[in-house]
Amino acid sequence: MVEANYTVVGMTCEHCVRSVTEEITRIDTVSEVSVDLASGAVSVRSSAALAEDDVREAVAEAGYELAS
């Protein structure tokens, strides 16, 4: 398993957390997503290393963006 950590900007509620979680979970190798609303921290576990662009695209699809 590979674990990667990101920061998502713009989340304000549990609906935001669910949206981000759902979109990132759609990436093929992802097995687990954990989001901390207060800090915007997102931890992703997957069976292979993820391309940051794939995660960025998933987060954008949910309506948010990764911090630079």
Q: Give the model confidence (pLDDT) of 14-65 as tens digits.
A: 999 999 999 999 999 999 999 999 999 999 999 999 999 999 999 999 999 9
Q: Are 56 and 65 within 8 A, CB to CB?
A: yes
pLDDT at 68: 73
- pTM of the shown model: 0.93
| C-alpha triplet 60, 46, 50: angle, nearest 5° | 50
Half-sphere exposure of 47 (CA within 13 A, CB side): 5
Cα(50)–Cα(55) distance, rounded to whole angstroms?
Answer: 7
DSSP lists the bridge partners of residue 21 as none
Cα(38)–Cα(25) distance, rounded to whole angstroms?
Answer: 20
